[in-house]
Amino acid sequence: AQSVSQHNHHVILSEAASLELGCNYSYGGTVNLFWYVQYPGQHLQLLLKYFSGDPLVKGIKGFEAEFIKSKFSFNLRKPSVQWSDTAEYFCAVSLNSGGYQKVTFGTGTKLQVIP
């Protein structure tokens, strides 16, 4: 069965600091990869996704993620965080299973950006 690990449960950064959130998955086959974000009081939103092609994926609000197949990783990065990036971030892996998307989420990383 697939699994997703997010190693940082809580990250605190000052504004303008660089961000990297780790995500590793375990599955030997073809997967699709996602990062979702949940801002305080809001619903879960898609931040970026990787299906195929260029392993460096750019998402909304200046976020990007790099798929490294050999490391089974899909780390999320942002060069300079803002206070408005305070949110919980979820990595997810999906594969097609019997006609539906079997999606497994990580446990989430809470990011707190201090002004």
Partner 1 sequence: SQTIHQWPATLVQPVGSPLSLECTVEGTSNPNLYWYRQAAGRGLQLLFYSVGIGQISSEVPQNLSASRPQDRQFILSSKKLLLSDSGFYLCAWSSTSWNTIYFGEGSWLTVV
Where would I find the beta strands (DSSP E) of 1-115?
A: 3-5, 10-14, 19-21, 24-26, 32-38, 45-50, 56-58, 64-68, 73-78, 87-97, 100-105, 109-114
Nearer to partner 1, 75 or 106 (CB): 106
CB of 16 to partner 1, least distance (A): 29
**Residues found near partner 1 in the complex (CB under 8 A):** 4, 9, 32, 34, 36, 43-46, 49, 51, 90, 92, 94, 96, 99-108
Nearer to partner 1, 87 or 92 (CB): 92
CA distance 24 to 10: 17
Nearer to partner 1, 3 or 84 (CB): 3
